[in-house]
Structure formats: structure tokens, C-alpha cells
Amino acid sequence: MSADLKKIIEALLFSTSEALPVREMHRVLAEAHEQSLADAEQAEDGSDDEEFEGEASIPPPPGTSRLREIIHELREDWRNANSVYDVAEIADGFRMVVRPAYSDAVRLLRKEPRPARLSAAAMETLSIIAYRQPVTRSDMERIRGVSIDSALARLTEHQLVEAVGRAELPGRPTMYGTTDKFLDFCGIRSVEELPSSDVLSPSRLDAWLQEEEEEDAPDTADMGLPEAEAVDAPEEANESDENDLDNEELR
């Protein structure tokens, strides 16, 4: 009798608290299938070992795309059955989770503190990093218009953002980007799945930075140059000289 592939996948997800990549799942299913074939051959050889008697064989694993379809089918089965379980898909793969409605009870069982909420300032800073990354501290502060030291420190502490390199600018400032934990936090596989935003799109952020740079640009007075009227004064003098010449010709 062949085992139900969907139930085998359910067992694999249930057996680990870590995200299970599809390729790793395929590898395990392939090895299990080879083992079941070996057990079947051993049974046919008349082995007296009853360990494998009546044991279901493992079917060969399908392709990775089909495995994904089975996992989504499993998720729908749980939802239709109003199960306490769900499947979360993150950057590293799939993971069995408990639905949010039951999370407080599980947290109390584990004696874990209630998750801290991010402040509005931290959320704004996180949004800028997510949509703009890699981004420097100065760029973030120009966009927000205030210091982001406290918000950036909190995001780093929660491992939602991290340093990803240095910009090719004077002083080589640090550039920041999001982490895999951020993807887990948002329940997405990559930043490409972030919802498009007319407010926080890269083009809008670039426009804000350009506007800020133009506002900060020094004017002629700051640079010690004469004002516009002063530059135009010689032209007025030339017009006056031309009028004097015309009067002399009339005389």
C-alpha cells in the first residue's frame, strides 16, 4: 500500500520548527523512496524480519513545482477544516505555524513575553529601508526629516535590518538592508513581494531626496556672489550711456 504523499509532507512539516526548503523536502522524499524500495526487496527475499511487515511504501517524489502545489493544497485542507494549523511560506521555505487566534495560549505555555510592537518611527524607518535598500543613514534622515538613531538601533536589535555594505561616498557610510527575519516578520519570500506603494516607491523616494538636496543648495548670497539685481546693474548703465550718446548726436 502506498503512503499518502500529502500526509508525508504534513509529517515532515510537523517534525521541525525550522522552515523546510522544497529542495530539502524533495531530497528527503527521494531517500525515503529508495529506502522503501530496499525494504520491499528485502521482504521479497523472504526475510524473517517483521519490522517492515505491513509498512506502507513511500512513492517517488514529484518535481518541486508539484511539491509546492501539494503544500498549498494541504494549507487549503487545514483552512477548510478550520484547523489550528497553517503553513507559512518564507524565504527559506515552508513552515507549519499556529494560527494567530491561538498564539497567546501557546505563548503562555512557553512562558514567553508578549511580542513588543514597533513604534511609528521604527515602522517608518523600516519601510524606508525595505523599499529603498541599500540605503545610508543620511538618506533615511533626509527622507524622514528627523534623526533615526533610536529607530535604527531598535530595528537592528530585533534583527530586522543589518549593515549590508558601504556606499561609494566620502567617508564610506554604512548602507542598511532588511534581513531574512524581516521576511519572516512580513510573511513573504522576498522584498519583491512587498506591496507597491505610491508613497514609498523608489522613484518617490528619489524625488524626495532630490527636492531635499535642491532646498539645501547654497544661494548666491551664501557663496559671496552679488545678488541678481547687482548683476543686472551694468546693463542698466549701458542703456544710460546709449541715451547720453543719442542726446549728443541731436545737439
Quote the pTM value: 0.57
Q: 120-216, which class in CATH?
A: mainly alpha
Q: Are 158 and 231 in contact (CB under 8 A)?
A: no
Mean pLDDT computed over 138-142: 92
Q: Is the pLDDT of residue 216 over 70?
A: no
45 pLDDT tier (thresholds 50, 70, 90) = low
Pick one of 3.30.470.20, 3.90.1150.10, 1.10.10.10, 3.40.50.1820 as the CATH number of 5-110.
1.10.10.10
- Helices 22-44 and 64-80 pack at an angle, to 10 degrees, of 100
Q: Where are the alpha helices (DSSP H) in the chain?
A: 5-14, 22-44, 64-80, 103-110, 120-132, 137-144, 149-157, 180-186, 202-216, 228-250
Closest by Cα among 141, 137, 135 to 216? 141
Mean pLDDT computed over 228-251: 46
